[in-house]
Amino acid sequence: MEMNDPLRREEKKETRPDQDKSGPSSPDSSRPGRDNLLKRMKKVDPKQSEKYKQRTGQ
Amino acid sequence: MKKRIFGIETEYGLLVKENNSGDFRLDPIEIANKIKNHIFSKNLGVLDLHYRANDEPPGNGGFLLNGGRLYLDMGHLEYASPECSNLVDLITFDRAGDSLIQEAVEELGWENNISIIKNNVDLETNATFGCHENYLVGRNFPFDERDNLKLLSSFLTTRLIYCGAGRIGSCNPHPFQDWDGVSSQEALDEKIDFQISQRADHIPNEFYRWVQYNRAIVNTRDEPLSDPSKYRRIHLLVGDSTMSEFATAMKMGTTTLMLEIMQLGVAKREWILADSVQAMRSISRDQEFKWNVTLASGAFSTALELQHDILETCKKHLAGTNQETDWILENWESVLNDLSKGPEAVLGRVDWASKYWMLNEFKNEENLDWHDPWLKSLDLEYHNLNKESGLFWGLEASGDGYRKTTDPAVDHAKRNPPRGTRAQGRGELIKKLIGQHSHIGYLIDWIGFRLSKTDDPFLMLDPFISYKEDIIEHLKQFETSYSTQKEIENSDVSSGESKKN
């Protein structure tokens, strides 16, 4: 089975040779809603996993 | 047996958040109990008046207006959906359970104090809790043949690639002595960044009947909860709780088709894996998503190839049976094709891939390591039922969550049973007991009920029958005899009193 590199989104972010940091940047091609999701994620208590104390069930 | 009946049982996790003001001092068990009691206090169901088991005393839980059941089990809030005859109903009633619980949390004013987490692992202690699937099959289903069980095991092992809910890290339990032969698995001490299944690390056996320890890929317990001469209930505990409606539909839909080709005798022995338990763990932990497997024949394959082959057999023998079957086949094919394009291609449809994509984006944005505690916390937050904060709901809000239900349908399903199964009659019974018959005692179970010690049990042994009209008639007759009995008792009391006077 062929599988794309799961980390390919990091590759997408790489600067293209024709991009000049001082000039206009190319349109953000990231997924719509990504920024809102990141905002949601930033609000999560980084230590909440330590407070999640569960019993074994079935 | 062409008609279908499905059900899902979900054990929820409960997170008590940081309490800066110090005014929220309840422990998780007390909280779960109060949530359950709040739901029943709203007349959404009736609490049990009798012991159901040693660990289920009166008041521990009860049946709901929608025909399902809410209770506490081993410290967890648990919701069992009513029996549903189709996938849309099943997903609607599964979400209705989530909504009943989250709504209670908000009505109690606790949405900032606690979170209800629909997952299956405590990432710190590695405690695990389940999401059980129920499929009704005919009693003649070939469940006692070893090869058939192995075929089902192969299917369940490889369906992880689209049914897994994903998790950060791993649990490395000590190897178990398999009750049915020693599994070749070793204690693994590899450090895993991310795996596609929540439960894979907790399933040490291929077949076993118990549900708490020595969990198995195929649970062999025979508890039909219906006429045992006609039916068998396949009860599976291997699956993850799924947030995505599409994932839930695929999990239940593809499994029912697998059971149907097994019943037809067309499932192929060549699909049997060399070691399902080991394969489940290696598929789940494969960081490159190649999902290689070894077949019993010694040949090599992948979970994706095996699933494609099973799909082709299902298409050959089941396509055109009905609309629901065609929907499952079409979407099964689509998700298998898209899985090979990478996690982002199945965003919103496959939970592990959605979670992986989100966590990976965040990890890169914040320059974190996979083992950063923040990512573990985000892993939990993916499963939070609170739509304002839960990460899955953010995905759904951005249009990436595939819906098969609607919010009004889910709301309706909190107070009304599905049609076409005995849940409809049970819902009617609960409605009457809450309303005009609230003075009557009762003992209710999945297979029937009785209203007093002298009342003949009303059996509901066929899950395909609604029993609604019969139950209404039974209640009328019971009420008449109850009133007559009361009149006699009252007249005996008054005549006794006049004699005294």
CA distance B287 to chain A (A): 9
Q: Is residue A53 within 8 angstroms of chain B, CB to CB?
A: yes
pLDDT in tens, B198-217: 999 988 888 877 766 678 88
Please state, in angstroms and rounded to a whole number, the distance separating the CA atoms of residues B237 and B200: 11
CB contact under 8 A, B378 and A13: no
pLDDT in tens, B274-290: 999 999 999 999 999 99
Name the residue among A36, A44, A51 with its Cβ closest to that of B378.
A44
Q: Where in the sequence numbering do the catalytic residues of B fall? A: 73
CB B434 within 8 A of CB B65: yes
CB contact under 8 A, B377 and A56: no
Mutate to test the interface with A, among B11, B30, B359, B377 (most CBs of A within 10 A): B377
pLDDT in tens, B291-311: 999 999 999 999 999 999 999
pLDDT in tens, B3-24: 899 999 999 999 999 776 777 8
CB contact under 8 A, B364 and A40: no
Q: Is residue B343 within 8 angstroms of chain A, CB to CB?
A: yes
Name the residue among A4, A10, A51 with its Cβ closest to that of B18.
A51
For helices B303-318 and B323-339, angle between their N-to-C axes, nearest 10 degrees? 160
In angstroms, what CA-CA distances link B264 with A43, B52, B257?
Answer: 52, 37, 10
ipTM of the complex: 0.87
- DSSP per residue, B296-355: TTS-EEEHHHHHHHHHHHHHHHHTTS-HHHHHHHHHHHHHHHHHTT-GGGGTTTSHHHHH
A:B CB pairs within 8 Å: 150
Name the token pair of B2.
Answer: 């062409």
pLDDT in tens, A7-50: 333 333 333 333 444 444 444 457 888 999 999 999 999 999 99
Q: Is residue A23 within 8 angstroms of chain B, CB to CB?
A: no
